[in-house]
Amino acid sequence: MTDTSPPTSLAAPAAARHGRLADGALGLPSVFFCIVTGAAPLTAMLFNVPVAVNGGGYAAPAAFLVATLALTIFSVGYIAMSRRVTSAGGFYTFVSRGLGRIVGTGSGLLIALCYMIFTAAVIGVLGYFAATTVATWTGVALPAWLYMVVALAVMATSAWFHIELTAKVLGVMLVAEVLALVVLGVAVIGQGGAEGLSAEPFNPAAIFDNPGAIQVFGGAAAGVALFAAFWSWVGFEMAPNYAEESRDPKRIATIATYGSVIGLGVFYMVVSYAYVSGWGLTGSVQAVADQFSGVYASAFYPLSDRFVGGWLTAVLQLLAVTSSFACAMAFFNTGARYLFALGREGVLPRRLASTSKHHAPGVAAMTVTAVVLVYGLAFVIADPSTEGALLKLGTWSPLLGVLGILALQGVVCVSIIRFFLTRARDGFGWFSTLVAPVIGGLAMFGACYLLIANRATLAAADDSPFVTAIPWVVCAIFVVGMGIAWYLRANRPAVYEGLGHFTLEITDAPSNGGAAA
């Protein structure tokens, strides 16, 4: 499957609008906002902490610690690759450079679809919380699908305009949700929690043998805890996708990626520790059991009532909606950029590489809109209830997307190693481009195993054909992408030679990480 054809330079002239995005549109804060809102800190905490507690009990903070370390190590090789390759193609371009055009094209098609599925899933979550929050506050009961349609329309409109506008919207929402959780965390920890503060929740060994989880749930599933932690970072790898629109791609990608991985890791550990401390070690597990049985919408809400006040609970309820919107819009933008890259190189129709007058990937964005609309509509037809938007569209779909992304992160690790051993030996480093990718790849493939083995539990659907088929769907999409590349190699060799090789810049000399804009 690997080809070793010589690299092709397809750098387009700066004056061309077709196939080029807005140069220098994004600074470091804007790229950082685009990345971190994809991880959706508030949504990650409200939903993934209970899942982590379900599996690892009060050791949920330790699960986030393990994930932080693994993803930081993965980022070492990922950043080394991003310094050599500057393109909106992200994973698609990286894998094409390291493992060849055929594997790269399979990766590109899969990652593009994963981000579109994520967009639809998070819009489903948004629809659920918008419907329930509005009904609680006003008594007006509107179907979740109505909020979903409105949200998608707003995203499509925003995506047509300058990327800086989108980044500013994401930035405002990100700051609001982070501040709300910081207030809660400081209040809980500052007041000593329910039973005092303990270091035990940070003990990784407790993930695998947690008396609190066993007492309440009858058994601790370490795989569920670790998967929930890894799930919380989906989207952190977006920095290279915005390289073409960044003012200083190499420096910004480095700082934004490390900043998002480590910054989110510290944030997640603090908030999850505040949750565990606020309820107490055993009480934190029982609170999740109560949430799952419908006693309250989120186990975080009673904590905000007790340690801060009802006003913060109301803010969290509102931010659950806006955080979901920001997260979906970040995924929307990344999916559009993958389609843009695939269209520009002829994998998909070249019309997808057309840009709007604002130099945004307009046609690709409208295509994402159409795919998300059709995909979401299928779920709505199958189950039009408000609960279905959360429990089916918003729960089942992320499993498919996360599996695809984790698998591709593992493939990227292999690609990094081969790229620096064969095509960029001058940049080879024993740790950054060998040891770190090996450790990162093992972590990603291990997380894939945890997802596949626990997918029925995570989806709460033992007999769903959709959930059962998730691994096979991921494989099928990847194979279709490789089939497209094989077809192009046999019938359109000129197009095939350019697959995964569009770049604004490839630097053969070792980078110092500070190219001038």
Which tens digits make up the pLDDT trace of 50-86?
888 877 888 889 999 999 998 899 888 888 887 777 6
CA distance 432 to 81: 10
- Domain map of the chain by residue range? 28-502
pLDDT (average), residues 37-61: 81
pLDDT band for 486, please (50, 70, 90 cuts): very high
Question: What is the pLDDT at residue 27?
Answer: 56
pLDDT band for 476, please (50, 70, 90 cuts): very high
- What is the DSSP-derived secondary structure letter of residue 86? E
Nearest to 52 by CA among 450, 481, 401, 489: 450
Nearest to 85 by CA among 516, 514, 504, 509: 504
Secondary structure element (H or E) that encloses residue 505, with its range: strand 505-506
CA distance 56 to 285: 9
Instruction: Judge contact between 207 and 66, C-beta under 8 A.
Output: yes
CA distance 434 to 11: 29
CA distance 209 to 226: 13
CA distance 239 to 264: 15
Instruction: Judge contact between 106 and 476, C-beta under 8 A.
Output: no
Mean pLDDT of the chain: 80
Instruction: Judge contact between 45 and 181, C-beta under 8 A.
Output: yes
pLDDT surpassing 90 at residue 491: yes
CA dihedral in degrees (206, 196, 213, 453; nearest 10)? -60
pLDDT band for 125, please (50, 70, 90 cuts): confident
- Count of CA atoms in the C-beta half-sphere (13 A) of 85: 33
- What is the DSSP-derived secondary structure letter of residue 19? T
Instruction: Judge contact between 219 and 212, C-beta under 8 A.
Output: no
Q: Give me the helices (H) in 202-309, please.
A: 205-208, 211-217, 222-231, 249-279, 281-292, 300-307
46-62: burial string, b at 16+ Cβ within 10 Å, e else: bbbbbbbbbbbbbbbbb
- What is the DSSP-derived secondary structure letter of residue 209? S
pLDDT surpassing 90 at residue 356: no
pLDDT (average), residues 174-197: 89
Q: How far is CA 293 from CA 45, 249, 288, in A?
A: 19, 48, 9
The tokens describing 288, both together, are: 């999740």
Instruction: Report which residue type is found at 23.
Output: D
The pTM (predicted TM-score) of the whole model is: 0.80
Instruction: Judge contact between 274 and 54, C-beta under 8 A.
Output: no
Instruction: Judge contact between 94 and 81, C-beta under 8 A.
Output: yes
pLDDT surpassing 60 at residue 235: yes
| Fold of the 28-502 domain | Amino acid/polyamine transporter I (1.20.1740)
Q: How far is CA 345 from CA 78, 182, 365, 425, in A?
A: 23, 44, 17, 27
CA distance 164 to 174: 15
Secondary structure element (H or E) that encloses residue 169, with its range: helix 163-190
41 against 27, higher pLDDT: 41
Question: What is the pLDDT at residue 36?
Answer: 67
